[in-house]
Amino acid sequence: MILKDIWLDVKAVKERDPAARNAFEVLLLYQGIHALIWHRFAHWFYQHKLFFIARMISQLARFFTLIEIHPGARLGHGILIDHGCGVVIGETAVVGDNCTIYQGVTLGGIGLNKGKRHPTLGSNVTVGAGAKILGSFDVGDNCTIAANAVLLKPLESNMTAVGIPARPIKIGGVPIPQQGTGVVSAEAYVKLEGRMKDLEEQILKLKRALEAGAEEEEKL
């Protein structure tokens, strides 16, 4: 099973990284693959309650790859950790199949309570460089977290989130109308200004009609 997962990770890099020339090069020279290989074995020891050995392996992997994956984290297959320097994945984090994680990403926890405290990523999730996903919540399948975003809340499937704190701006690739931003476009301002002028003219006409009616009453 471990060897199969390693092969699927190598295959994912070869398919999704334009710089990858062949599987042999990926296996020997890509630190993201090396970190995943070390983790596969560390996680096996962790599952068998050999925590010291598991942690020792993960620390060696961190030393050689600059990627820190806690041995308790559960990772799917076909994962691409691109460049990878500075990636941190916490103990109770879960990463689904075919996810892409760029350098500087943190899948971290908030608070000091034990138990599930790190995020769960669905399948086909892309996490941009420097992004932070903090807390125990789910990120749905096919989501994209923009570079340097800080996600603190659950995210439904097929969404794109940006910003600090991160908020969804697209669903299924279609922009989501943003409300309450306080920003008025130039086109909307021109339309609003024209509408105000129309209302002013209508008020003036009504005022003149009332004045004319009052004068007719006085004559009578």
What proportion of the chain, given as a percentage, has pLDDT over 90? 57
Query: pLDDT band for position 188 (50/70/90)?
Result: low
Q: Tens digits of per-residue pLDDT, 2-30?
A: 788 888 888 888 888 888 888 888 888 88
Give me the DSSP letters along 27-38.
Answer: HHH-HHHHHHHH
Q: How far is CA 163 from the centre of its chain?
A: 10
Query: pLDDT band for position 179 (50/70/90)?
Result: low
- Which of residues 171 and 72 earns the better pLDDT score? 72
Q: Is the pLDDT of residue 180 over 70?
A: no
* CA torsion angle 143 86 30 122 (round to 10): -20
Q: Tens digits of per-residue pLDDT, 42-58?
A: 999 999 999 999 999 99
The H-or-E segment that residue 108 falls in is strand 106-108
Q: Is the pLDDT of residue 183 over 50?
A: no
Q: Tens digits of per-residue pLDDT, 88-140?
A: 999 999 999 999 999 999 999 887 778 899 999 999 999 999 999 999 999 99
The H-or-E segment that residue 6 falls in is helix 2-16
pTM, to two decimals? 0.74
Pairing between β-strand 88-89 and β-strand 106-108 as defined by DSSP bridges: parallel
Whole-number average pLDDT of the chain? 88
